[in-house]
Structure 1
Amino acid sequence: MKIAGKMYALLLVHFFWVTAVQAQNRLLSGVVSNQDTRKPIPNVAVTDGFSVVRTDAKGAYSFYSHPDAEFVYLSLPGGYKIPTEGFLPKFYQRLKKGQNKYNFALSKEKTDDAHHILIVGADPQPANKEAAQKWSNFAKEYFKPVVEKYGSLPKLGILCGDIVGDDLSLFANHKKAVETMGFPTFQVIGNHDENYEARSDEGSQKAFRDNFGPEYYSFNKGKIHYVVLDDVFYMGKDSRYFGYVTERQMKWLENDLKFVPQGTTVIVSVHISFEYDRQKPAGSEAVSLPDDSPVVNVAHLYSILAPYKVHIMSGHTHWNQSFESNNVFHHIHGAICGAWWGGETSFDGAPLGYAVYEIKNDSISWYFQSAGKDRNHQMQLTYVDSIGSVVANVWNWDAKWKVELIADGKEMGEMTRYIGYSPVMADYYNSLPPGSPWMKPVLTAHLFKMSIDKNVKRVSVRVTDRFGRVYNESISIK
């Protein structure tokens, strides 16, 4: 009897404990359906940022939410349009007191989205009204060529953070700018998008969440699984931060990827790059490349992502890098604002612009689109008289590109890659009044040079990218 009594007491304690937990973790439920046919959509991942479940054959889901959850949201399925308000994706609903049921309705794409266009930019970073107007003008004008070029193909954009420059009231201007871009554009939080009045990292995303929803999430387009993470860890003092992905996000990512078949191409978008290219060209071993504090716990993220084919999209640095490392392709995008809307390039000489990725099934090709330029503008040529050499800045270069020089019609072979400063950015910096060290150019390894005879009149550079596309630029030697 004593044993039976103890067992009964334990069961009673367990019952009340479960009841208390369930009281804190309310039961969320709902249905995901086709907006046009009203039919249910099965196998859609639904999350509160902690648990991840899938809808059943009737399009229904239910799970107990975490006490800290603020949203319930979908990992949008491939084949369906991205729901938007003013081209800002609306894949989420904010949890409301007393409401436990949240339904979602989606519309099918008119064309097969296995072939779609991804447009990635980073760091528009307006810090005042004047810069905000420049970003608005950029958004309205400079995405048009891509929208027009690809016609009815499904398109989506990702802005990899620093969408404002500390003044969070400019989120309102950013929303209006996105509305003019012409395609659904997802937002990534950057260090300049955080609330510096928060006492810890957990509160630093409040204004971002109020304007754009969750700071980490996933979605699908065609055969690609997209993930967005917050890798800026705010230290709770002034504007201090470092690159770090919280345990909360890593647990969610593990849950999210349980529903993604191994071998799938996964595109992860963050603000701070997971790592930087440290491979130096021959002869430059003693030169230090910039290293802008990558994500410190990246090894654990690589472990989670190991079963997949991964591309990492990032910004933050205001310079461009493209490289492969740890079986991952890294795309670090130069800033849309360049040197904070001063001059016409980022600190490595890369022009203001963004990247365009054409995706067919799980095959991805890409190019850099310079603002206001033809898509074939993929390099910048300068004759440096002091060394008698032509310098080519090939900002989207990676190890599978080839850069060759032709002098007065004669093939001269491949140019020599080296580490140095962009001549164009260096000239701009030298033209500024003294006392602007934050505008100083950075060393970059996507420069190429070749000495030429003093009698040469015209030089052409031919660049072949990793996809076999050929670009040409020429300059006259005075």
Structure 2
Amino acid sequence: MKKSIVSICVLLFSIGIAAQSNVQGYVFEDANQNAKKDRKENGIPNVAVTNGVEVVLTDKKGKYELPLADDQIISVIKPSNYRINVSENNLPLFFYNYKPNGSPELKFKGVVPTGKLPKSVDFGLIKQEEKEEFTALVFGDPQPYTEEEVAFFAKGIVAEVEGIKNVPFGLSLGDLVGNDLNLFNPYIQTVKKIGIPWYNVIGNHDLNFDAKSDKMADETFEAHFGPANYAFNYAKTHFIILDDILYPDPRDGKGYWGGFTEDQLKFIENDLNKVPKDYLIVLAFHIPLTEPSEEDTFRDKDRARLFEILKDFPNTLSLSAHTHIQRQDFFNKKEGWQREKQHHEYNVGTTSGDWYSGKLNEAGIPVSTMRDGTPKGYAFIRFNGNEYSLDYKVAGKPKEFQMEIFAPKVVAKGRGTKAGIYVNFFMGSKDDSVKYRVDKGEWKVMEYIEEIDPTYAIDVYEWDLSEELIPGRRSSNPIASKHLWRGKIPTNLETGEHRIEIKATNMFGKTFDANSSYRLENAK
């Protein structure tokens, strides 16, 4: 009897093994760049490959093997000093989507059936020199809801960076479109014009809202861009791209919530086990880890687990978008970060600004200033080894335009006033230095405040006070800015015009200047 039981157990175990599916292949040096492994092309050892959970390294011949389910994407984690082939649309070809039966039927088309698994799923890489000093271009929320808004994005943002030089790749931080996933292709064709490889993050407006489970909510995204969770290296920086939208919300089955699945957290952990500890780790996702309004927008246990995984890496940065404002957030031990050096999250201003609202400029494009007074634009991340710095470029303005000054036009001489000089330093954070002086007098420190930006408030309320309809669409109501400073107005000077100078220094030691003026007149 015991022998029969043992035999049955062995048989069941054998059947289970047989039912498992594995994928294997090579990572190779694609010398002729034809994206196929030719006989004379050598494999590349010690390259990471993943099925979205497990991560393995190729052997000395460049071979890998991974377990594979019917709905998984195999992707190579690009090593430093190699590049990946790109499609005709400049999308990196680093993955193989294995979905033999295709996506389920959804409102927006997903992945077509991929059929039988090839005997070898190979990834070709091309050698390139990667200097430790490089720059990446970052977009927050392009988010067009219509073809017209795709055109606004093309003319107002992409046209400025088309043909950009000395930038090896770009990244969009989610909400590539606004719910209509048929706009993925127009978005792709627009970003293609920039002329560099372009990576993409999934956002909450990029989901299949008719999906019944979180696993199926990215089917159309996968059909256009590949996996929503992946990684790659460039020089001494390791990038991890993540889908941090839980949909439907696991609390009530409605809407969405920020967070990660267990498989994602395992992927991050397995991936980082293969990364040198002195690399800069850059995590990119859509919904911020921070919850500054005390709203429960991100699942706390997932953030805590992420911080636990990152505790052995001294150099880190998070990138997010989603909010349609701009701010610099920091995590210390009080917030669960486990290192002395704080963790920085840059919540990037958006390329759609305030959802393509506001007055139309001379080119007929909405100015789209965001609710915190940040003009729409895009970011550059400057890397140097495992260090970084950030720059924000306002669309349609010179790169030197880094702050907006608000001051009264005229003030009564000798009278006290509750009016003030306000500076919105778009890339600023609470601990930055912002100073001002009047008529080349003594430099004075401005007071950091969290209030609405008066310049933006005036622009918004003009819509409400106008006797005639203004072309375009009224902007959103102002909210408190996280990068606003105030100074007192000297009224004890001579009558006439007085020059205001501003000097702002950010967390990276970069200093920016701006100026304005006000007029003093004798009270009547």
Both structures adopt the same fold (TM-score exceeding 0.5): yes
Matched, 1:300 2:305: yes
The code of the aligned residue for 2:423 comes to A
Any idea what the Cα deviations from partners look like across 1:78-123, whole Å, max 9, x if unmatched? Answer: 11124222222221122232223211111112x3332221122211
Matched, 1:18 2:24: no
Output the CA distance in 2 between the equivalents of 1:171 and 1:39. 36
SS at match of 2:450: strand
**In structure 2, what is the equivalent of residue 392 of structure 1?**
423
Output the CA distance in 2 between the equivalents of 1:340 and 1:9. 63
Aligned match for 2:440, one of 406, 409, 414: 409
Q: Is the 8 A contact 1:139 1:177 kept in 2?
A: no
Matches within 5 A, 1:217-228: 217-228=230-241
Matched, 1:441 2:478: yes
**In structure 2, what is the equivalent of residue 313 of structure 1?**
319
Range 425-434 or range 46-55, more displaced: 425-434
**In structure 2, what is the equivalent of residue 284 of structure 1?**
none
Aligned match for 2:117, one of 68, 88, 99: 99
**In structure 2, what is the equivalent of residue 283 of structure 1?**
none
Range 311-320 or range 407-416, more displaced: 407-416
Matched, 1:120 2:138: yes
Q: Judging changes above 3 Å, is the alpha-carbon distance between structure 1 residues 348 and 167 closer, same or farther for their aligned structure 2 residues?
A: same
Output the CA distance in 2 between the equivalents of 1:138 and 1:88. 22
Q: Is the 8 A contact 1:48 1:72 kept in 2?
A: yes
**In structure 1, what is the equivalent of residue 79 of structure 2?**
77
The code of the aligned residue for 1:102 comes to V
**In structure 2, what is the equivalent of residue 136 of structure 1?**
154
Output the CA distance in 1 between the equivalents of 2:403 and 2:216. 42
The code of the aligned residue for 2:228 comes to E
The code of the aligned residue for 1:363 comes to E
Range 295-304 or range 355-364, more displaced: 295-304
SS at match of 2:375: coil
Output the CA distance in 2 between the equivalents of 1:217 and 1:292. 26
The code of the aligned residue for 1:354 comes to Y
Aligned match for 1:52, one of 52, 55, 59: 55
Any idea what the Cα deviations from partners look like across 1:343-362, whole Å, max 9, x if unmatched? Answer: 33111111111111111111
Matched, 1:346 2:359: no
The code of the aligned residue for 1:466 comes to M
SS at match of 1:84: coil
Q: Judging changes above 3 Å, is the alpha-carbon distance between structure 1 residues 250 and 441 closer, same or farther for their aligned structure 2 residues?
A: same
Output the CA distance in 2 between the equivalents of 1:373 and 1:292. 36
Output the CA distance in 1 between the equivalents of 2:296 and 2:2. 63
**In structure 1, what is the equivalent of residue 456 of structure 2?**
425
Q: Identity of paired residues, percent?
A: 28
CA RMSD of aligned residues (A): 2.3
The code of the aligned residue for 1:373 comes to K
The code of the aligned residue for 2:144 comes to P
**In structure 1, what is the equivalent of residue 403 of structure 2?**
379
**In structure 2, what is the equivalent of residue 477 of structure 1?**
518
Structure 2 gap segments, 5+ residues each: 33-40, 99-113, 332-336, 359-366, 410-416, 466-472, 520-524
Matched, 1:188 2:201: yes
Looking at CA atoms only, which structure, 1 or 2, has the larger radius of gyration? 2
The code of the aligned residue for 2:305 comes to H
SS at match of 1:457: strand
1:238 Cα offset (Å): 9.8
SS at match of 1:432: helix
Output the CA distance in 2 between the equivalents of 1:430 and 1:291. 27
SS at match of 1:81: strand
1:401 Cα offset (Å): 2.1
**In structure 2, what is the equivalent of residue 281 of structure 1?**
none
Output the CA distance in 2 between the equivalents of 1:15 and 1:294. 43
1:445 Cα offset (Å): 2.6
**In structure 2, what is the equivalent of residue 322 of structure 1?**
328
SS at match of 1:420: coil
Q: Judging changes above 3 Å, is the alpha-carbon distance between structure 1 residues 375 and 248 closer, same or farther for their aligned structure 2 residues?
A: same
Any idea what the Cα deviations from partners look like across 1:205-233, whole Å, max 9, x if unmatched? Answer: 11111111111111111111100111111
**In structure 2, what is the equivalent of residue 337 of structure 1?**
352
Structure 1 gap segments, 5+ residues each: 279-288
1:8 Cα offset (Å): 3.5
**In structure 2, what is the equivalent of residue 366 of structure 1?**
390
Q: Judging changes above 3 Å, is the alpha-carbon distance between structure 1 residues 74 and 138 closer, same or farther for their aligned structure 2 residues?
A: farther
Aligned match for 1:255, one of 270, 282, 296: 270
Q: Is the 8 A contact 1:227 1:267 kept in 2?
A: yes
The code of the aligned residue for 2:449 comes to Y
Output the CA distance in 1 between the equivalents of 2:459 and 2:408. 15
Q: Is the 8 A contact 1:74 1:91 kept in 2?
A: yes
Q: Is the 8 A contact 1:123 1:163 kept in 2?
A: yes
1:412 Cα offset (Å): 3.3
Output the CA distance in 2 between the equivalents of 1:329 and 1:166. 30
Q: Is the 8 A contact 2:434 2:502 kept in 1?
A: yes
Output the CA distance in 1 between the equivalents of 2:418 and 2:142. 36
Output the CA distance in 2 between the equivalents of 1:253 and 1:97. 29
Range 295-304 or range 357-366, more displaced: 295-304
SS at match of 2:442: strand
**In structure 1, what is the equivalent of residue 490 of structure 2?**
453
Q: Is the 8 A contact 2:157 2:395 kept in 1?
A: no
Q: Is the 8 A contact 1:225 1:265 kept in 2?
A: yes
The code of the aligned residue for 1:195 comes to N
1:438 Cα offset (Å): 7.5
